[in-house]
Amino acid sequence: MSSSLRFEVVGEAFKKKAIDVPTPSERPSEFFAKYVFTRQKMFKYLPAEVYRKMCDVMDNGASLDLKTADLVAAGMKKWAMELGVTHCTHWFQPLTEGTAEKHDAFVEHDWKGGMVEEFTGKQLIQQEPDASSFPSGGIRSTFEARGYSAWDPASPVFVIGDTLMIPTVFISYTGEALDYKAPLKKALHAVDKAATDVCRYFYPEVKKVISNLGWEQEYFLVDEGLYATRPDLLMTGRTLMGHDSAKNQQMDDHYFGSIPGRVAAFMKDLEIQALELGIPCKTRHNEVAPNQFELAPIFEETNLAIDHNMLLMSLMKRVARKHGFRCLLHEKPFAGINGSGKHNNWSLATDTGVLLHAPGKTPLDNLRFVTFIVETLMAVYRHNGLLKASIMSATNAHRLGANEAPPAIISSFLGKQLSDVLEHLEDATDDELIDLAGKHGMKLDIPQIPELMIDNTDRNRTSPFAFTGNRFEFRAVGSQANCAAAMIVLNAAVAEALTEFKARVDALIAEGTDKMKAILKVIREDIKVCKPIHFDGNGYSEEWKAEAKRRGLDTEASCPLVFDRYLDESSVKMFETTNVLKRFEIEARNEIKWETYTKKIQIEARIFGDMCLNHIIPVVTRYQSALIDNVHKVQDIFPDATAAGLNADNIDLIKKISEHSGFITRNVDKLIEARKVANKITDERAKAIAYHDTVAPMLESIRYHIDKLELIVDDEMWPLPKYRELLFIR
């Protein structure tokens, strides 16, 4: 890009106006889920008997026979064709980012020389996409390229444009999971079973426990014209170079500020479309960094919430372009200002009420509450390293323990009241406990509990896993991640903790201990065990890093090494006993993680090298030549100019430029060399480590010199839009 083009692009960006997004004539409650085959639509489009069967499938996991599937497909087709749909696709979540789809038209030969629209039960429930180019970590070798996608009836089908979208799991020919949804569903099943069993100690009528997820999606918007002139944004989703702008987030004037017009139009458009797809959007606001925003829906059952998050992310990208923006979901698009995350608000609820909410109506509610809190903490404590691995990626690594405050350590904030309750339970003497539990173990009264709600206002924003009144908020999840990775580990780990809890309580009961006393005894033991995970202090402080190490928490920050936690015996055992993943699958998935890590850094390094050699160095040399030229010209007019010091400033600048550009040129060569060395390594883990240890740090050290040059070189010549333009044009 020539400098004149840069100014044209920036000029055009400034001229962009908000598009008028018409307000729908209906209210949101009326157009909500317009494009979703909801239960109401099933009721309308399916024969009564088929509707009843579908409810049984959705609510109780009954299996769907082909004959019923044919009738369901016929009803769906009728509904979809009324919306102008001509195609259908299985929509799945492979182990890449994002979702995948392969569209088929609704057409079949009528064998009379014409065509008929057809959509059968078989097409609905199963497809065999040639899936050889999706990552499988070696599970599916290319000669056996078949993967199956199979409908998940718990996720309703929906329509986008002319296509009926059918949410599916994606598995290999031999049954191993090749996606996020298959193990997620198993983890949700495991936590349902384990939590229901524990609930029945308190309330035998409980039939089901549901895991809920409310995510909060952070993102950046950048003008599309500026975006197009940054090869780094285009190829990697983040800026690989760029000096801080004079003003960034230090004034805190963007956070919760009034939403700029073009952004507001984008948000409105996005929300209307998201609501039509059944995503219950609720909250929108400016975030801390300039041009950073957030959208949060109302929480939903975890499986559906994850479908909706995947759908929303692709919708955001599409709608942004309509408004002349690009939506950046990368965790750290800009150095020096906040990155983006995706808080995962997680809770469990029964078919009759919530489980993580206090005060309960009865002492029994309160004991149940404490049980679920403590066993969640046990899960997080035991698998803190694995939970970190579940949210770790090449891109999220920039937030965790690197250039942004949150440390790469998982700990849990509980707040004063809840901490007091746990302390009280732990310290009480047996006599006090008997008092607490009452004669029949029914009068458990924990005085602090009624105050718990007060604590919600005083939240510690530095905790990666904070209790926030009726849920835990897992804050370390990356903004572009599929939440399923974190939700698989969290739900499976809680399932394991609850199952072990129950086994120990049952053993005590079998020895003749009273049920409530048995529960209290085990809880008291566990409160002691999981103590190291509890931390209410400043998670961003240096002291915490040292303290966490002393407590035995996982403090590893190197992304490829953090992935190792998946292969710990404790992790494999947890995944296998909860029936979520087999060792073989975990190994395969880790191969993909390492490979993906390598590829990301490899692409960054390549594009970075290109930008250094094709964008930065030529412009810098040109500017330096202009300075040299000037020195000569001054000398022409005043023959003793240099001797008299008249050229001193320019000569200084010329020297500085030489130092910086010399460093860049030499080190880009070294960077290419380091890549070549790493590329020869065949073991995926070792290769990822090499990329992490040798290639990635060079991007940072070279960048320092480019950013310095940005401050020196004539603004008119600088070939890339600067941070102030990327972050403040909206």
Side-chain half-sphere exposure of 247, counting CA atoms within 13 A: 9
**Chain length of the chain:** 730
The one of Mg ion, ligand ADP, none whose footprint includes residue 471, by CB under 5 to 8 A per kind, is ligand ADP
Residue closer to ligand ADP by CB (options 212, 248) is 212
Residue closer to Mg ion by CB (options 334, 474) is 474
Residue closer to ligand ADP by CB (options 212, 661) is 212
Q: How far is the CB of 343 from Mg ion (least distance, A)?
A: 4
Residue closer to ligand ADP by CB (options 296, 378) is 296
158 forms beta bridges with 36, 165
Q: How far is the CB of 154 from ligand ADP (least distance, A)?
A: 18
Please say whether the beta carbons of 416 and 455 come within 8 A: yes
Say how far apart CA 511 and CA 502 lie, in whole Å: 14
The one of Mg ion, ligand ADP, none whose footprint includes residue 340, by CB under 5 to 8 A per kind, is none
The one of ligand ADP, Mg ion, none whose footprint includes residue 223, by CB under 5 to 8 A per kind, is none
The one of ligand ADP, Mg ion, none whose footprint includes residue 296, by CB under 5 to 8 A per kind, is ligand ADP
The one of Mg ion, ligand ADP, none whose footprint includes residue 464, by CB under 5 to 8 A per kind, is none
Grouping H, G, I as helix, E, B as strand and the rest as coil, residue 299 is coil
Residue closer to Mg ion by CB (options 151, 472) is 472
CA trace torsion 615, 618, 620, 624 (10° rounding): -170
The one of Mg ion, ligand ADP, none whose footprint includes residue 214, by CB under 5 to 8 A per kind, is ligand ADP
Residue closer to ligand ADP by CB (options 471, 615) is 471
The tokens for 4 are 């004149």
**Which run of H or E residues covers position 349?**
strand 342-350
Grouping H, G, I as helix, E, B as strand and the rest as coil, residue 646 is coil
The one of Mg ion, ligand ADP, none whose footprint includes residue 212, by CB under 5 to 8 A per kind, is ligand ADP
Residue closer to ligand ADP by CB (options 346, 623) is 346
DSSP strand pairing (147-151 vs 126-127): antiparallel
Side-chain half-sphere exposure of 372, counting CA atoms within 13 A: 34
Q: Which amino acid is at 373?
A: I
The one of ligand ADP, Mg ion, none whose footprint includes residue 691, by CB under 5 to 8 A per kind, is none
The one of Mg ion, ligand ADP, none whose footprint includes residue 463, by CB under 5 to 8 A per kind, is none
Please say whether the beta carbons of 173 and 146 come within 8 A: yes
Label residue 54 left, alpha or beta by phi (over 0 means left) and psi (-120 to 50 means alpha). Answer: alpha
Q: Positive or negative CA dihedral for 468, 471, 477, 481?
A: negative
115 forms beta bridges with 109
Q: How far is the CB of 216 from Mg ion (least distance, A)?
A: 5
Q: Which residues of the shown chain bind ligand ADP in the complex (CB under 6 A)?
A: 212, 214, 216, 283, 296-299, 343, 345-347, 470-471
Q: How far is the CB of 308 from ligand ADP (least distance, A)?
A: 11
Q: Which amino acid is at 617?
A: I
Say how far apart CA 425 and CA 435 lie, in whole Å: 12
Q: How far is the CB of 457 from ligand ADP (least distance, A)?
A: 10
CB-CB neighbours of 321 under 10 Å: 14
In the complex, residue closest to ligand ADP by CB = 214
Q: How does DSSP classify residue 94? A: B
DSSP 522-538: HHHHHHHHTGGGB--S-
Residues 6+ apart with CB under 8 A from 456: 415, 468, 469
Say how far apart CA 157 and CA 161 lie, in whole Å: 13
Q: How far is the CB of 473 from ligand ADP (least distance, A)?
A: 6
Q: How far is the CB of 141 from ligand ADP (least distance, A)?
A: 41
Residue closer to ligand ADP by CB (options 212, 396) is 212
The one of ligand ADP, Mg ion, none whose footprint includes residue 299, by CB under 5 to 8 A per kind, is ligand ADP
Q: How far is the CB of 395 from Mg ion (least distance, A)?
A: 20
Which is nearest to 307 in space by CA: 441, 137, 184, 222?
184
Q: How far is the CB of 213 from ligand ADP (least distance, A)?
A: 6
The Cα-based distances of 569 to 84, 338, 566, 572 in angstroms read 52, 36, 8, 5
Residue closer to Mg ion by CB (options 229, 468) is 468
The tokens for 492 are 């499976």
Please say whether the beta carbons of 694 and 674 come within 8 A: yes
Q: Which residues of the shown chain bind Mg ion in the complex (CB under 5 A)?
A: 216, 343
Residue closer to ligand ADP by CB (options 324, 360) is 360
Q: What are phi and psi of 263, to 5 degrees?
A: -70, -40
Please say whether the beta carbons of 226 and 9 come within 8 A: yes
Q: How does DSSP classify residue 400? A: T
The Cα-based distances of 466 to 84, 217, 551, 585, 696 in angstroms read 46, 17, 18, 31, 31
The one of ligand ADP, Mg ion, none whose footprint includes residue 588, by CB under 5 to 8 A per kind, is none
The one of ligand ADP, Mg ion, none whose footprint includes residue 298, by CB under 5 to 8 A per kind, is ligand ADP
Q: How far is the CB of 212 from ligand ADP (least distance, A)?
A: 4
Residue closer to Mg ion by CB (options 14, 256) is 256
Q: How far is the CB of 174 from ligand ADP (least distance, A)?
A: 36
Residue closer to ligand ADP by CB (options 218, 244) is 218
Residue closer to Mg ion by CB (options 366, 376) is 376
Q: How far is the CB of 18 from ligand ADP (least distance, A)?
A: 25
CA trace torsion 261, 265, 266, 272 (10° rounding): 150
Say how far apart CA 409 and CA 398 lie, in whole Å: 14
In the complex, residue closest to Mg ion by CB = 343
Q: How far is the CB of 459 from ligand ADP (least distance, A)?
A: 8
Residue closer to ligand ADP by CB (options 465, 575) is 465
Residue closer to Mg ion by CB (options 90, 343) is 343
Q: What are phi and psi of 477, to 5 degrees?
A: -65, 140
Q: How far is the CB of 283 from ligand ADP (least distance, A)?
A: 5
Say how far apart CA 605 and CA 698 lie, in whole Å: 9
The one of ligand ADP, Mg ion, none whose footprint includes residue 470, by CB under 5 to 8 A per kind, is ligand ADP
Q: How far is the CB of 286 from ligand ADP (least distance, A)?
A: 13
